[in-house]
A and B are shown apart, each in its own frame.
Chain A
Amino acid sequence: MTTEIVIVGGGVGGTVTANRLQKELHREVSSGDVRIRLVSETPYHVYKPTFFYVPWGEAEPEDASRPLADLVDRRIDLVYDRVTHIDTSGKSLDLAENGSIPYDYLVVATGAAPDIEGTPGFGADGNGHHIYDAEAAMELRRELSAFDSGRLVFSVVEMPHVCPAVPIEFTMLADARFRQLGTRDDIDITYTYPISQLHSVDAAAEWVEPRFDDRGIETYTEFAFDTVDSDAEVIHAADGTELEYDLLVGVPGFEPSPLIAESGLGESWMEVDKHTLESDHADGVFGVGDVTNIPTSKAGSVAHYAAGTVVDRVAALARGHEPRTTFDGDAICFLEAGTDSGSHMSFTYDSEPVIRNETEFVHWAKLAYNETYWLTARGLA
């Protein structure tokens, strides 16, 4: 009898989990005792952090994407289809085009999707820009190439959002780029954040405050978007503040796949034990990455480290052992401080990060990591 392991989602969490499970269970897969399947709505794996560089002309959208078949071990079955329902009592998945498939262990890694239409100023009627898909990143590139005076507002509109470093990095990169171009004196940069400090991670908020001051970046905290008048180019905040802009760039709200609520895995985000990553509502079901409600940042590194825990636990269960590995909330993020220096922060559920002064070496490390990511996706690093 074959143990069926199914992974839903071909992003960071799903791909790393699948490849590392294959490495861990290669004997069982070869003998036919275990089968691993990865179900992805799209046949492409997209490394979304690449989109950060697209508006600045430092990367092309095509650099972000590779066929899953290039990255996923050949012994893992790939199914390109959309999961329409998870039957956690019958342990099966319904697919849009291909019937249903059974599972003994299920890993849900469906990520977080930007809610562009639901974010004031960013939908079809708005003129806010973002970097969360290829088309939007290219559109922002066109805007930035013609932007040489006025006010750039960078706003985190809603939380939680993916990739915690983006607001800080984008704002500081914009400052550095405008200085290089000689347009900084004609461009005001304003940063807004929806809570009472400049970043949700305390250490990041402390680190960035003097740096924004030094660069003359105006900041607003507890800035809650109410409405945006796109014609007049004015943001109306909930407290009555009005903020004019010439170019609005921001982080929209994010939401999980509706599959989670429809399948009873959580009211919104997938509800899991923060240490075992097992569903609060179903046996043999695990969550990895942005889709979960674990109390830490929605970052690729969290998905990567969490995948390691899930792989150990699923492999132990597939072998009939008691799983022991637990997740401590490990996260590590780079913090670029412009065009030629960077720092980083690492933290867990129980430890706050210490953020050092930025250096050129860490900037290089980030550039290098963006390339080595493809090894990470293969489950190597």
Chain B
Amino acid sequence: MSGEQLDPNAESVQNALDTLVELEETGTLDDLAAAANVVSLAAEAVDEDMVRSTTRALVHAGELFDSAAGEPEAIRNLELLTAALSDTAADPADPPDGVGPIGAARKLNDPQVKRGMGFLLTLLAELGEQLDTRARRYDFETGVDEDRI
């Protein structure tokens, strides 16, 4: 099209004019012109390193979110830990009293502490299993999870 004489009656020209008139009448054209100034500013202010480094940071965050999104159970457990953390020493000016060896032994009889200990011991067992699994996936020498073949 470039370099050719525009036909004012051409359908494409009429459609473009109609769109322009509608944008003008609705005030959108002014908004677009204002937005274009921001785009122009970005074009002058941004350089390649900014694009690369910002994108790289977003990608790392995206990978983290992707992992989290694939682990809804982990998110529930994180929420559990968050709730427990919120209720533990909620007042920073009033931390819990210290506990000595005898007090700690007595606390272990508390049913809620027992439940929490169960959670933590299960977590430790799962942690061990996941460490083994991860080690197998990164074992590039043998290169195979033999249990799964």
Interface residues of A (CB under 8 A from B): 22-23, 26, 37, 43, 67, 69, 73-74, 77-81, 97-99, 101, 360-361, 364, 367-368, 371-372, 374-375, 378, 380
Contacts of B66 in A (CB 8 A): 375, 378, 380
Using A23-B70, A78-B137, A380-B66 as known contacts, say yes or no to A368 and B51 having CB atoms under 8 A apart.
yes
The smallest beta-carbon distance between A262 and chain B, in angstroms, is: 22
Are A74 and B59 in contact, with the CB atoms below 8 A?
Answer: no
CB distance from A60 to the nearest CB of B (A): 13
Q: Is B8 an interface residue (CB 8 A)?
A: no
CA of A37 to CA of B149, assembled, Å: 10
Which residue on chain B has the smallest CB distance to residue A69? B137
- 7 A-B pairs whose Cβ atoms sit less than 8 Å apart in the complex: A23-B70, A74-B134, A98-B146, A361-B43, A364-B51, A367-B55, A371-B55
Q: Which B residues touch A67, using CB under 8 A?
A: 138, 140
Contacts of B140 in A (CB 8 A): 43, 67, 80
Measured in the bound complex, the distance between the Cα atoms of B145 and A5 in whole Å is 16
Complex contact A367–B144 (CB within 8 A) = no
CB-defined contacts of B55 to chain A, threshold 8 Å: 367-368, 371-372
Closest A residue to B147 by beta carbon equals A77
Whether B148 and A372, one on each chain, are in contact in the complex, defined by CB atoms closer than 8 angstroms, is no
B-side contacts of A367, CB under 8 Å: 48, 51-52, 55
Name A75's closest neighbour in chain B (CB-CB): B70
User: When the two chains form their complex, are residues B63 and A79 in contact, meaning their CB atoms are under 8 A apart?
Assistant: no
B residues near A22, Cβ cutoff 8 Å: 70
Chain B: minimal CB distance from A338 (Å): 13
Q: Would B143 and A81 count as touching, CB distance under 8 A? A: yes
B62 within 8 Å of A (CB atoms): yes
Q: CA of A372 to CA of B52 in the docked complex: distance in angstroms?
A: 10
Q: Which residues of B contact A81 (CB under 8 A)?
A: 143-144
CB distance from A199 to the nearest CB of B (A): 21
In the complex, besides A74-B133, A77-B148, A374-B63, 16 extra interface pairs with C-beta distance below 8 angstroms are A23-B70, A37-B148, A73-B70, A74-B137, A78-B137, A79-B145, A79-B148, A80-B140, A360-B43, A364-B51, A368-B51, A371-B55, A371-B59, A372-B55, A378-B63, A380-B66
In chain B, positions 51-73 with a C-beta closer than 8 Å to chain A are 51-52, 55-56, 58-59, 62-63, 66, 70
Choice from B48, B56, B133, B144 contacting A97 with Cβ under 8 Å: B144
Residues in B whose Cβ lies below 8 Å from that of A80: 140, 143-144
Instruction: Check B149 against A79 for contact (C-beta < 8 Å).
Output: yes
Q: Judge whether A371 and B52 touch: CB under 8 Å.
A: yes
Judged by DSSP, the binding face of B is: helix
Q: Which residues of A contact B149 (CB under 8 A)?
A: 79, 98-99, 101
Residues of A within 8 A of B145 (CB): 77-79
Interchain CB contact (< 8 A) of A380 among B46, B51, B52, B62 = B62
Inter-chain contacts of B59 with A (CB < 8 A):
371-372, 374-375
Q: Which residue of A lies closest to B39 (CB)?
A: A361
Q: A74-B133, A98-B149, A374-B63 are in contact. Are A43 and B51 (CB under 8 A)?
A: no
CA distance A372 to B63 in the complex (A): 10
Residues of A within 8 A of B58 (CB): 371-372
Given contacts A99-B149, A368-B55, contact A26 B62 (CB under 8 A): no
Q: Digit string of B110-149 for contact with A (CB within 8 Å is 1, else 0)?
A: 0000000000000000000000011001101001111011
Provide the bound-state CA to CA distance between A69 and B145, in Å.
12
Report the separation of the CA atoms of residues A282 and B86 in the bound assembly, to the nearest whole angstrom.
Answer: 58
Scan B12-30; emit 1 where CB is below 8 A from any A CB, else 0: 0000000000000000000
Bound form: Cα–Cα A97–B51 in Å: 44
In the complex the two chains form, is B143's CB within 8 Å of A43's CB?
yes
B51 A69 Cβ-Cβ under 8 A? no
| Cβ distance A378 to chain B, nearest Cβ, rounded Å | 5
Residues on the B chain within 8 Å of A77, using CB? 145, 148
For A97, the chain B residues whose CB sits under 8 A away are 143-144
Given known pairs A81-B143, A361-B43, the reply for A375 and B63 (CB within 8 Å) is yes
The CA of A338 and the CA of B46, in the complex, are separated in Å by: 18
Q: With A74-B133, A364-B46 known to touch, is A98 a contact of B63 (CB < 8 Å)? A: no
Contact partners of A374 in chain B: CB under 8 A: 59, 63
